[in-house]
Amino acid sequence: MKNIYLLFFSLLLFSCSSTLDVRNNQEPQNPDFTYLALGDSYTIGESVLETDRWPVQLAEQLRDRGFKMAPPKIIAKTGWTTEDLLRGIENELDVHRDFDLVSILIGVNNQYQDKLITEYEADLRTIFRKAINHSKTGINGVFAVSIPDYGYTPFGASNQEEISEEIDRFNAVFKRIAGEFDVPFYNITPISREAEDNPELVASDGLHPSAVMYKLWVDQFVNQIADKLPE
């Protein structure tokens, strides 16, 4: 069964661009603040509209609070592991480009592809260092978002217990590494587990979060992110 899932993930791998600046008509002409989002399918927003991706929703909610946010710079692709993300950062990001905010959400494909958790830990440390280096205010501009649990989606339901246990293990490492760097870690995993009883939280592919779920994530931590930006 897992081979069938792997084929599905492989097909999704090429469905999204690896990097983009998302723009809409509501964005200011001369923004004051910039935002870099690092991740995988959850950050690129597989199976939702560009405007519904959680980094885009976050930027919009910050604009509603009076912050003149630039379009988020997203470096992410469906199927990416930590190793893939590191290559993406090297390929797509100018070494001198800094941002007011930098988010990290990565790890589900390390879990899914049976990568060693020790490799995940080592890669994460490098990703956090790079994120901090690209933050205008160092650790103060960086935050991490936990890995959602796809075991509670139709795609993962038949193997829910094993998936959930593994996601918990990877999130424990993720949270610990964030703590080592003194970076806030926002735990949205419980929200993802509500999908079992609320189909509106799952996108049409039966696997990824819907726009509704992404909004719940952003609602959880937008106030803390706003506090990272100067008035």
CATH number of the domain where residue 207 is located: 3.40.50.1110
What tokens were used for 74? 């997203």
* Residues 98, 135 contacting (CB under 8 angstroms): yes
Q: Is residue 231 part of a domain?
A: no
Separation of alpha carbons 65 and 169, rounded Å? 36
Q: Is the pTM of this model over 0.85?
A: yes
Q: Is residue 193 part of a domain?
A: yes
Q: Is residue 92 part of a domain?
A: yes
Alpha helix ranges (H) inside 65-210: 82-92, 108-112, 117-133, 160-180, 189-192
Domain of 45 in residue numbering reads as 2-23+31-226
* Residues 214, 171 contacting (CB under 8 angstroms): no
Separation of alpha carbons 138 and 149, rounded Å? 29
Q: Is residue 141 part of a domain?
A: yes
Amino acid letter, 72: P
pLDDT at 26: 53
Instruction: Return the residue matching tokens 């930590």.
Output: 82
Separation of alpha carbons 157 and 151, rounded Å? 5
pLDDT at 97: 86
Q: Is residue 82 part of a domain?
A: yes
pLDDT at 13: 39
* Residues 33, 68 contacting (CB under 8 angstroms): yes
Separation of alpha carbons 75 and 82, rounded Å? 12
pLDDT at 229: 97
- In this structure, how many other beta carbons lie within 10 angstroms of the beta carbon of residue 227? 9
Query: Beta partners for 37?
Result: 74, 103
Separation of alpha carbons 97 and 136, rounded Å? 9
How far does Cα 13 stand from its chain's mean position? 16
Separation of alpha carbons 39 and 152, rounded Å? 21
Q: Is residue 101 part of a domain?
A: yes
Residue-level pLDDT, tens digit, the chain, 231 residues: 444 344 344 444 334 445 555 444 455 678 999 999 999 999 999 999 999 999 999 999 999 999 999 999 999 999 999 999 999 999 999 878 899 999 999 999 999 999 999 999 999 999 999 999 999 999 999 999 999 999 999 999 999 999 999 999 999 999 999 999 999 999 999 999 999 999 999 999 999 999 999 999 999 999 999 999 987
Query: Could you give the number of structural domains in the chain?
Result: 1
